[in-house]
Structure 1
Amino acid sequence: MINPHRFSIGPADAGIAMLRWGESGKPPALLVHGTGFVAEVWEEVARELASTYTVYALDRRGHGASHKPDAYHFLDFAEDVSRVIDALDLRDVYGIGHSAGATDLLLAAKLLPGRFTRLFVMEPTVMDPRATHSGGLDDDSMARVHGARRRRAEFDSADAVFERYRTSPTFADWTETSLRAYVRHGFVTLDDGRVRLCCTPEIESAMLRPIYEAMAQVYVGDARGNPFASLAEIDCEVRLTTAANSGPVYWEMARRAVSLIPRVSTLVFEGAGHCVAQEVPAAVVKAVREFAK
């Protein structure tokens, strides 16, 4: 088994935690997880890809061992990805991302033109800047954003987390390896032996607001504006995937992305839900390799 090498990029107060599977010298692949997770949830995919690539994965800001700032707009995450690629001097990068992490890669491709050779993005969070709506989030969406603050943050032990999550609809179809990796690295052990989420409910709520705004086509962004028009300027091949068992909002956002990205092809994962890389990692590895041919 190939165990990842752990390191960090940037100063201690703004560090991005990283994993690397395999030795340098091979083409680089960069894996970016979705909201609430950690780099280690890619373990089964990364281990297989390491025979061909030098595989990197990062903890997105607010997650895992990375920094926990106050800003969680889409461009903030994309700039973190760009910072990683520049710090490691990566070229011809194969970007592989899930959900909001897939969005990070799509936006980073505009920030670093010519650095990606291809992007494999699974159900990215995307709005169509040509069809925005006025106003804000409806009551149901606001309830979901605020509801994240009520997520249970502490448990008696990692085993207690695993038993609780094993029956949760979100994690029910995850492989045991993926779920244990998330429980092991998505929580920090406290002095009394209890464990606490690294991505706290307050941080997750802050991340979810712009995501729900993008879903509802009302995203305004921070002072730098709405970044989604830049998807029309992506200069590499993109394979955009959906999953047959995920929700209609993900299919709608995929449709928006396809309408914006110039060189895009699509794929549907049958028999899987939104967290496809943690549910059917072998199918993801096969699809990633086929897209590289």
Structure 2
Amino acid sequence: MTPNVRPLVAGNWKMNGTREALDQIKAIAEGVNRPLSEKVDTLICPPATLLYVATALAEDSPLEIGGQDCHQNVSGAHTGDISAEMIADVFGSYVIVGHSERRTDYAETDHLVRAKAEAAHAAGLIAIICIGETAEQRQAGQTLDVLKRQLSGSVPHEAKAANTVIAYEPVWAIGTGVTPTTEDVKVAHAFMREELVRHLGEEGKTMRILYGGSVKPNNAKELMAVDNVDGALIGGASLKATDFLAIYGVYEDLLA
């Protein structure tokens, strides 16, 4: 954890969830409505088809709702895309940009990710910018080089701690059940903190850096306790309210 930085526990549902899954969002919204919510932020990013109803379900809860991606333009002839303004229009407050699955499946570049983050900021959204190395890059000893390049290329020069979150997701750990050692996470997050301070000055000292990649209730406490880990971006475990709330609940002890 980073001193004086409010943690964020975020769930990325990816391409999962129909109307039936709204019961899970309702349960999460009810489960985070307790004293711990005064110290820890929570977020679920469901599929776009559920965004509006999800924000309604979370209206009386501290739970925030966000999008999984946005187009870099406000509007236009971009069939199938969603703008940051559209997410804000249905009361979303965050948007994930640059997830490794977007970078891989759609060849998104650092330049495009930065443009999407800038679009999110212009719409009043908090951008969660994802970065992380592949297994091949890790084996080649390139982890820190990749993080340096992606931070430099993907984070807007005017980014603030209030409107930007970094999510470190080692690509080889996403959905695999394999996680880095706590020492690996500590080294990566310390490096990212140094880079953020170098690029953004004081803002970089308090910008949240999340860890993502096979975060589960049984490893969350150990991971969240690592220096400069300011929360989690959770994939599969966020689909079930019990798992998400268990991960959120580790802060009961960590912040005691």
Length-normalised TM-score, structure 2 = 0.35
* Higher share in helix: 2
Length-normalised TM-score, structure 1 = 0.32
